[in-house]
Amino acid sequence: MFTQPLVPLGERVEFLSDAYLNTVETFVGGLQGSWPNFSVSLRCANPPAHISSEVVGYTLDFRGSGVTLTRSATNEANLSQDLDYNAALWLHSIVKNDNEASAARREREYRRLFGIQSKKSDQNDIPKPVQQTLDAIGDHMARRTVDNPDIAHKIASFGLQQCADDFEETGYTVFHDAFSDDFADAMREEAARNHAGRPEGGSFRATMLLKRGSLWEEALLHPWILTAAEYLVGRGCLLYQTDTIVKTTGQETHPGLHSDYAASRITEPFPEFCILTVAVWAIDDFLSEHGPTVIKPGSFRERRQVPAGTTQEGTTRIEMPQGSIAMWNGATWHGSTPRTAAGKRTSLHNTYCRNYIRPLEQYQDIDPAILSRNPPMLSSLCALDDAFGKSGYEGADFERMGYAARSGFAQSGPLPQWSR
């Protein structure tokens, strides 16, 4: 049996859309309490064209026994923020209730990624009843807010055009300075626990990470990587597999070359479009002596598995420092090299596929508590939002079929229907 999304599909909204502001207005209209006079305002530049051609925002006024929403920003508020639309969307996708440590880490990583300085001094000035209400509004909306469906807009906003060009030309790219040293340390420590008791030098991978703690949920919801995944394998893409590898001296996990389509038995010739993509996180340095991945640029155009006897001649080593993420079209030929340095190298591998491909890992029975502390993007990655495998004696799941069609699942081009 599959887990039902905690928030009905019909209640999902786009950030700062009319439907979003209607939902906020309804929620605050039902609040009861007493608040000191205080106002909070958010102004977002660079919204996608289907939301607005101008700056968008809102103001929340707390006055005595009521809270009111104004559908515009103001500089007269006690606390005001000016943010890029996509950065604000991700900062407002964080669920805080019963999730404080993870929420704080997500906020630090998002602020670092988007170059936003912390507003702790301002937050300390917010009266406690106001802050508690803001957190309640934030959690209510975070569980309902979908990602911006305009992939081209996100690529431009995040400065990822060169990465998109790399995918088209060579089949791979590297995202530099994609996560902090602190986040790398946390993942290395957690990976060590998951690998404990396994013989060193073996081929063991710690898999099913989404069921192993909130840290891996945070890594899965990386704004740059999800944007790239949608670019390559379409909206509504699924989590195919997530695992960590701890590489020791002399170990070579994938000698020779291979494509990542083998496990799914994709027949030749491969489709001209990408159906599976892998993001490899350098939790430790991927330098020459550490056994980095090698890749054959442009080989995805071969549209076939690697012929027997093919060597690594003509490949490029993907050398990158800790904090980088390499990502490639799954049809691109690649392999590994042995580690010659002393010590260990830890890496995280998150693989995404089009929503009609069967993933290696199954998350449709995921713990509802995991969904509760995450935005809807996680539900989609777990294959809970499409109709596949959900038909019953009363017929197909037409609600999910309609949602997938409106959302443009498996597509990466024009905007889906509900955004036009």
pLDDT score for 280: 98
Same domain, yes or no: 43 and 165? no
- In total, how many domains does the chain have? 2
Q: Is residue 420 part of a domain?
A: no
At 262-317, the pLDDT tens digits run: 888 899 999 999 999 999 999 999 998 888 999 999 999 999 999 998 999 999 99
pLDDT band, very low/low/confident/very high, at 98 (cuts 50, 70, 90):
confident
Cα–Cα distance, 127 to 37 (Å, whole number): 9
Q: Is residue 202 part of a domain?
A: yes
Q: Is residue 124 part of a domain?
A: yes
Q: Is residue 416 part of a domain?
A: no
Same domain, yes or no: 201 and 117? no
Same domain, yes or no: 112 and 177? no
Cα–Cα distance, 408 to 398 (Å, whole number): 15
Give the largest CA-CA distance in the chain.
76
pTM: 0.96
At 218-238, the pLDDT tens digits run: 999 999 999 999 999 999 999
pLDDT score for 121: 47
Domain carrying residue 31? 9-146
Domain boundary among 146, 161, 187: 146
**Can you read off the two tokens belonging to residue 359?**
């993933």
What does the DSSP assignment read for 6-31? Answer: SS-GGG-EETTSHHHHHHHHHHHHT-
Same domain, yes or no: 120 and 157? no
Cβ-in-10-Å burial (0-12, 13-18, 19+) of 111 comes to middle
Q: Is residue 90 part of a domain?
A: yes
pLDDT score for 262: 85
Same domain, yes or no: 169 and 24? no
Same domain, yes or no: 102 and 16? yes
Q: CATH no. for residue 167? A: 2.60.120.620
Overall size of the chain counted in residues: 420
pLDDT band, very low/low/confident/very high, at 419 (cuts 50, 70, 90):
confident
Looking at residues 383-402, what average pLDDT do you find?
Answer: 91
Q: CATH no. for residue 69? A: 3.30.1050
Cβ-in-10-Å burial (0-12, 13-18, 19+) of 386 comes to buried
Q: Is residue 77 part of a domain?
A: yes
Q: Is residue 407 part of a domain?
A: no
* Interstrand relation of 56-64 and 66-70 (parallel, antiparallel or unpaired): antiparallel
**Can you read off the two tokens belonging to residue 11?**
């209640």
Same domain, yes or no: 258 and 155? yes
What does the DSSP assignment read for 280-343? Answer: EEESS-B-GGG--EEE-TTGGGG-SPPPTT--STT-EE--B-TT-EEEEETTS-EEE----SSS
- CA angle, 174 as apex, 168 and 179 as ends, to 5°? 140
Same domain, yes or no: 219 and 330? yes
Same domain, yes or no: 259 and 174? yes
- The one-character DSSP state at 376 is H
197 SS3 class = coil
Same domain, yes or no: 125 and 155? no
Same domain, yes or no: 128 and 243? no
Minimum mean pLDDT among 103-117, 129-143, 242-256: which range?
242-256
Give start and end residues of each alpha helix (H) in 115-180. 120-123, 128-142, 151-158, 161-169
Same domain, yes or no: 189 and 326? yes
